[in-house]
């Protein structure tokens, strides 16, 4: 993983590229250099070297934007631009984002900081940035047409306000939203508390990411922006499993995970092996009396949730959206379910005509992961990811919380798969099986019809024939 110094090396290269395009060199001279990220890896926490101290977050498959201090003001530079996002190894999407990636970099500040954000528009159309959840002067709220004129292509606008309350926030365009959010424009914003806060606990690990969704036809690169609900790629920070990194923690760490939802539907996010509490929303930290333990928290559209847990169970714990279609990658959904139908022979015959034809939903979907079916270039397999015991049959919004005794404090690297102590893994029973008492029917008898044929009634519907009876 690159160090902060590497970030600045990248800066000097890409900074020059920005300066030679739409934005003039003179205009750029006054701005902080834009820092561009070209890799989709989870970057180590960015320790604050200037400004008020705080404990940094780690953005899942993302990074935090460096800043410069200018007379006590924290200055950031966001560049709205087309990006190429590797959504999982072998599959790249052409998206729009900020500073080289979608989502854009996480912005981390401290309660009370005066923040100045330069936004340079390198998109082919106008944009504006809304700072979702912030208390700020109305003219800084970033709603094009309502609180400001849009930022034309090639221009740079400046936003300036004080980060008044601590919490977990987001940023996203409020100009041609449907297109720009469907193309991946968004980012996390964390405001850390200034000192000890009665409702915000100190934690050992602090993660954040955004839920986002795309509709990209298998074999193509650009999302369909007209899609309203039937997305085929459900992602965390524009990554799909197995491209989503694991969350690696030390045994007994206090862990905070901040999740924002910028998709078009809710996501019940579920963690195995531990219970957690919702300690914060977009409105800031939740009052202590309102907290209770859960293993699933529903995150509605436009919401943020901050969950906290003590990672006191060693192992590899699944962490995922509980809508089962959201743990899958690109596929057609208009497929009949044929569970219980054995049509191996039909498939063989069709295969002579259409070599790629495959039967779906015959014995469930698990066979999908084992079939080495040819897929178009630049497509992620639908259900995939291999664990120590074989295929996980998962895609989309899925990751693993890895809790390890020997994970060093501050070390976020993947420790590999859990080595289960002997005798602690589910195993095959090989003893005798008792006959079930319901086994009175012969085992292959078809189910009896719900009604004998003679009892089937024809339904007659009388339709109204005009309005004169009103």
Residues whose CB is less than 8 angstroms from the CB of residue 443 and which lie 6 or more positions away in sequence, other chains included:
none
Least CB distance to Cu ion at residue 328 (A) = 10
Contact status, residue 307 vs residue 256, Cβ threshold 8 Å: yes
Least CB distance to Cu ion at residue 124 (A) = 31
**Closer Cβ to Cu ion, 79 or 328, answer by number:** 328
Least CB distance to Cu ion at residue 265 (A) = 7
**Which range in 17-25, 55-63, 261-269, 437-445 contacts Cu ion by CB under 5 A?**
261-269
What string marks each residue from 26 to 65 as x (binds Cu ion by CB under 5 A) or -? Answer: ----------------------------------------
Binding status of residue 267 toward Cu ion by CB under 5 A: yes
SS3 191: strand
Q: How far apart are CA 188 and CA 85, in angstroms?
A: 17
**Closer Cβ to Cu ion, 80 or 299, answer by number:** 299
Contact status, residue 190 vs residue 57, Cβ threshold 8 Å: yes
For residue 11, the 8-state DSSP code is: H
Strand partners, 92: 86
**Closer Cβ to Cu ion, 270 or 291, answer by number:** 270
**Closer Cβ to Cu ion, 54 or 236, answer by number:** 236
> CA nearest 173: which of 221, 275, 102?
102
Phi, psi of 345 (to 5 degrees): -70, -40
Least CB distance to Cu ion at residue 365 (A) = 17
How many residues contact Cu ion, by CB under 5 A?
4
Burial class (CB in 10 A: 0-12, 13-18, 19+), 441: exposed
Least CB distance to Cu ion at residue 392 (A) = 17
Least CB distance to Cu ion at residue 321 (A) = 3
Considering only residues 79 to 138 of the shown chain, the ones binding Cu ion according to CB under 5 A are none
Q: How far apart are CA 225 and CA 183, in angstroms?
A: 7
**Closer Cβ to Cu ion, 23 or 321, answer by number:** 321
**Which range in 146-154, 262-270, 297-305, 454-462 contacts Cu ion by CB under 5 A?**
262-270
**Closer Cβ to Cu ion, 119 or 186, answer by number:** 186
SS3 466: coil
**Closer Cβ to Cu ion, 64 or 235, answer by number:** 235
**Which range in 19-27, 151-159, 264-272, 371-379 contacts Cu ion by CB under 5 A?**
264-272
**Closer Cβ to Cu ion, 151 or 397, answer by number:** 397
End-to-end CA, the chain: 75
**Which range in 74-82, 119-127, 265-273, 296-304 contacts Cu ion by CB under 5 A?**
265-273
Q: How far apart are CA 133 and CA 12, in angstroms?
A: 33
**Closer Cβ to Cu ion, 55 or 323, answer by number:** 323
Contact status, residue 66 vs residue 105, Cβ threshold 8 Å: no
Least CB distance to Cu ion at residue 267 (A) = 3
Contact status, residue 41 vs residue 183, Cβ threshold 8 Å: no
Least CB distance to Cu ion at residue 21 (A) = 38
Site of tokens 């996980």: 392
Least CB distance to Cu ion at residue 323 (A) = 4
For residue 29, the 8-state DSSP code is: H
Contact status, residue 359 vs residue 347, Cβ threshold 8 Å: yes
Least CB distance to Cu ion at residue 71 (A) = 44
CA distances from 126 to 96, 119, 443, 455 (A): 13, 12, 67, 66
Binding status of residue 224 toward Cu ion by CB under 5 A: no
Contact status, residue 309 vs residue 275, Cβ threshold 8 Å: yes
Instruction: Candidates 256, 326, 402, 404: give the one binding Cu ion (CB under 5 A).
Output: 326
Strand partners, 317: 401
**Which range in 11-19, 144-152, 278-286, 325-333 contacts Cu ion by CB under 5 A?**
325-333
What string marks each residue from 305 to 324 as x (binds Cu ion by CB under 5 A) or -? Answer: ----------------x-x-
Contact status, residue 364 vs residue 209, Cβ threshold 8 Å: no
Q: Which residues bind Cu ion (CB under 5 A)?
A: 267, 321, 323, 326
């Amino acid at each position: 993983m690159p160090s902060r110094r590497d970030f600045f090396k990248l800066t000097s290269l890409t900074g020059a590229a920005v300066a030679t395009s739409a934005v003039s060199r003179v205009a750029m001279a006054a701005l902080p250099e834009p820092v561009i990220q070209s890799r989709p890896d989870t970057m180590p926490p960015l320790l604050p070297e200037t400004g008020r101290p705080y404990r940094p977050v780690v953005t899942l498959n993302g990074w935090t934007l460096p800043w410069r201090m200018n007379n006590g003001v924290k200055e950031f530079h966001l560049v709205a631009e087309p990006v190429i996002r590797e959504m999982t190894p072998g599959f790249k999407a052409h998206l729009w984002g900020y500073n080289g990636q979608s989502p854009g970099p996480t912005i981390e500040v401290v309660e009370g900081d005066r923040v100045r954000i330069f936004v340079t528009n390198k998109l082919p159309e106008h944009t504006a940035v809304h700072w979702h959840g912030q208390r700020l002067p109305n003219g800084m709220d970033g709603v094009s047409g309502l609180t400001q004129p849009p930022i034309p292509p090639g221009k740079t606008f400046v936003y300036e306000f004080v980060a008044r309350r601590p919490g977990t926030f987001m940023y996203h365009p409020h100009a041609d939203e449907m297109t720009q959010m469907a193309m991946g424009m968004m980012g996390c914003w964390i405001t850390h508390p200034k000192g000890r806060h009665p409702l915000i606990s100190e934690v050992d690990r602090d993660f954040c990411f955004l839920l986002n969704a795309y509709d990209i036809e298998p074999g193509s690169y650009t999302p369909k922006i007209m899609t309203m609900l039937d997305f085929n790629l459900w992602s965390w920070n524009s990554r799909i499993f197995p491209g989503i990194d694991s969350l690696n923690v030390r045994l007994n760490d206090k862990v905070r995970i901040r999740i924002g939802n910028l998709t078009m539907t809710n996501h019940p996010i579920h963690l195995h092996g531990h219970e957690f509490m919702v300690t914060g929303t977009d409105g800031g930290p939740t009052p202590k009396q309102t907290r209770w333990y859960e293993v699933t928290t529903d995150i509605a559209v436009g919401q943020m949730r901050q969950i906290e847990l003590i990672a006191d169970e060693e192992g590899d714990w699944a962490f995922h959206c509980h809508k089962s279609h959201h743990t899958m990658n690109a596929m057609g959904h208009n497929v009949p379910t044929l569970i219980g139908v054995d049509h191996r022979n039909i498939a063989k015959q069709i295969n002579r005509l259409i070599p790629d034809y495959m039967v779906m939903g015959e014995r469930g979907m698990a066979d999908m992961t084992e079939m080495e079916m040819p897929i178009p270039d630049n497509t992620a397999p639908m259900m995939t990811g291999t664990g120590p015991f074989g295929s996980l049959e998962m895609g989309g919004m899925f990751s693993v919380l890895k809790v390890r005794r020997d994970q060093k404090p501050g070390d976020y690297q993947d420790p590999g798969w859990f080595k289960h102590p002997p005798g602690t893994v589910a195993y095959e029973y090989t003893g005798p099986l008792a006959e079930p008492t319901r086994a009175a029917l012969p085992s292959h008898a078809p189910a009896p019809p719900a009604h004998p044929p003679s009892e089937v009634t024809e339904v007659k519907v009388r339709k109204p024939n005009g309005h004169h009876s009103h």
